[in-house]
């Protein structure tokens, strides 16, 4: 076991969801939406924690960088087949692959999640410029986030923290009452780990 190999009197092993929340909001109640290459949502109310997503890019991680990249590539193929109108972004991306669907598929077959997620900033920028496909994808991602927040019984006095490289870009797509409760993270996940460790140590001394 990990704990037995560590030179500490007490060891707690956790995934990054708990440390991300603790780093962002500390001990207060609230909701943290962490969106980078992957994604997850954490809601805390009292001693109860509820998690959404984070199951991996293959079946989950909606609204994530990978998800954004995959979504825009799908729309590129639809545009190439004449099943969706083109946009500036789809034309730019298709041009990167010589306007050949086979080249795009070859990329996806050998791509790592981070390779696909590298398209996410282009989707974000294009949406800000009004690109029809990028805007639609960002709205879809925001709808998933909103659904998670409502499923966690979000109320108009519950703070929401958007973290990760992509998370903050969804702020303007949330419902207006939610936008009013947005707050910046207090710190990164490493700070959260330190916060949790200090809290455990304090309990041990009580």
**Per-residue buried b or exposed e for 181-199, using 16+ beta carbons within 10 Å of the residue's own CB:** bbeebeeebebbbebbbee
Those residues with Cβ within 8 angstroms of residue 41's Cβ, 6 or more apart along the chain or in another chain: 31, 32, 33, 34, 51, 52, 53, 145, 148, 149, 152
Number of Cβ within a 10 Å radius of residue 13: 8
The pTM for the full model equals: 0.88
* Burial class for 4, CB neighbours closer than 10 Å (0-12, 13-18, 19+): exposed
Q: In 3D, which of 151, 145, 133 has the Cα closest to residue 173?
A: 145
Number of Cβ within a 10 Å radius of residue 60: 15
Distance in angstroms (rounded) separating the CA atoms of residues 206 and 196: 16
The pLDDT profile of the chain, 206 residues, written as one tens digit per residue, is: 555 665 555 655 556 788 898 899 988 999 999 999 999 999 999 989 999 999 999 999 999 999 999 999 999 999 999 999 999 999 999 999 999 999 999 999 999 999 999 999 999 999 999 999 999 999 999 999 999 999 999 999 999 999 999 999 999 999 999 999 999 999 876 665 565 555 655 554 33
- The pLDDT of residue 125 is 98
């Amino acid at each position: 076991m990990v704990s037995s190999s560590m030179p500490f009197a007490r060891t707690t092993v956790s995934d990054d969801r708990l440390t991300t929340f603790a780093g962002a909001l500390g001990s207060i109640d609230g909701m943290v939406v962490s969106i980078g290459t992957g994604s997850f949502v954490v809601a805390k109310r009292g001693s109860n924690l509820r998690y959404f997503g984070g199951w991996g890019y293959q079946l989950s991680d909606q609204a994530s960088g990978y998800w954004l990249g995959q979504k825009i590539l799908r729309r590129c193929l639809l545009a190439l087949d004449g099943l969706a109108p083109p946009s500036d972004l789809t034309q730019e991306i298709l041009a990167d692959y010589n306007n050949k669907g086979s080249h795009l598929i070859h990329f996806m077959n050998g791509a790592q999640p981070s390779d696909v997620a590298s398209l996410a900033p282009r989707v974000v920028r294009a949406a800000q410029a009004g690109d029809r496909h990028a805007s639609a994808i960002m709205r879809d991602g925001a709808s998933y986030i909103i659904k998670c927040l409502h499923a966690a019984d979000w109320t108009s006095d519950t703070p929401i923290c958007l973290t990760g490289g992509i998370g903050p870009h969804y702020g303007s797509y949330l419902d207006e009452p939610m936008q009013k409760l947005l707050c910046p993270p207090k710190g990164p996940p490493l700070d959260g780990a330190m916060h949790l460790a200090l809290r455990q140590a304090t309990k041990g001394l009580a």
